[in-house]
Structure 1
């Protein structure tokens, strides 16, 4: 894509953030400034392929520190800002909600205030073309009871967890700063992401890596919760399209058009692994024999489903991957990147999901 911008990405060492940074460096002519605190899920190893690129810069900073934000914005003078830094795991938000309020709400507030001060001193086209893209989640909408319903950009917010409540709060802040201060903001609400470099607390990498070890594959409740799965590289391409074509003040839902029950996701992973790993540990016949059901987590939403017609019509974006092709690529990546997988499990992550027994 012929884009030559200076783009600041918060949370660029995380799962979606690192995919965004790699895409911008590899597929555009942009300069990228990655601002990341490097918490447990931030991993610079996910950026090995771009770390020496002349157009890539890294700042180890916390979005809750407004002095650092002011310094970075004034130093690099970005044309656009993509806000991906967030605490994002529902299980952790139930255990430690204060961290989610601090990062997702206070951090977003600080970033808006810093961006406002920076944007107000810009001149002419640089000010007119500046964009603040806030990346959010479909979980702010709550869940859907009717199988024929879909989340649209006009769906009322009804968050169920401390995580989704904190993201809903940050969405409201972004809208308020657009309406009150006229900062050219954009919001996207995406469905469940999956793909390479995802931290193994999330369902798909957790199942892949647990199966390789011959460990139990825990599924919450009856496993019939439905999610719309979006391949991460499709997501970041949608984000770039929104940056370039989106109308300030607007929200765009991004979905993968792949509604699947959690139990079926786990079974599909097992089927692919069965074909890729014929010699299993402990004489297993199939990885599906490791599936077990555990107590459901509190407030677990039943179904998420995105109506992505607005972004398809106005931005002309559609996902390239279906779930089968994306899952095949994802599993192959984890099997081919043992060092990344080993290193990410050697930190403070104990490979436990809420509800495991």
Structure 2
């Protein structure tokens, strides 16, 4: 049965569908109520609002500015309350719980250890607290009848000078919950080539890394991330659309960089709602993901910062379903793309695809067929 046979999935089906998340920031996904409680416990008095609902709204409005730099300013508040072991443990555990309740079965969640040292923790203590929190969240999810596996990506900040140190840290914990490395922060003025020593180290160690590229900055950022640094994936990469020309008759021509990205199956960690906030797209309907999916790029769907965007994986898919009439087959395509691109061993990725993702979508499609058969029988009767 072809994908055109199926109707668009309902909100409930989207929520229950197994989903894979590759681009999610730990400090961008806190529960507003947790921020308020941690601020009270740690004595942080800089919150703009102290009532959880109002605080959540403030984060979304502050982030909805069209400027990546302004968007990044919101993280001062979340990082401020993530400076103790207990806080990091709690935030990580709740992150895993929240993702599992949204139907996410595998997630790679990133954070910058260097931003959590103000309370006296060492880099190692930060990593261990977060890893233990993720494990606790996985345990709570199992108790609730849900399954999720969470791997950490250790992030270095583009404007700082600790990339090699963080890369070495990621390598030390690669068998203890950390699955890869990333760099993040404002792209303009801080090219990834400033951190070549970190990327060369990771390549020598046969380790995985992704690079934030092609979000606020254009094709040169993508080119450097791939050709100078050797990134396995592109964090966002949405600006690859600048190298794709669509003629008035609908014909499409790919530039050499876009062709390379598609031919090499470079995964794009696309974050639709976040891209709207940072000005990378004008609307969901105009988001490049629609064309990239048609052209069979290795596109994936992600949340980026669930707090700032007021989003979840289910909401991202709901928006895409509404904009592009996507079906469960389309959702499965994005999800399998993401699982293929994860930074865990091949056999484990394959097991997730064959034992969790495909059966999950098959069950949802069977529900649809049963409903359709029942409806047809009633109309004939």
Choose between structure 1 and 2 for higher RCO, CA contacts under 8 A separated by at least 6 residues.
Answer: 2
Higher percent of residues as helix: 2
How high is the TM-score relative to the length of structure 1?
Answer: 0.33
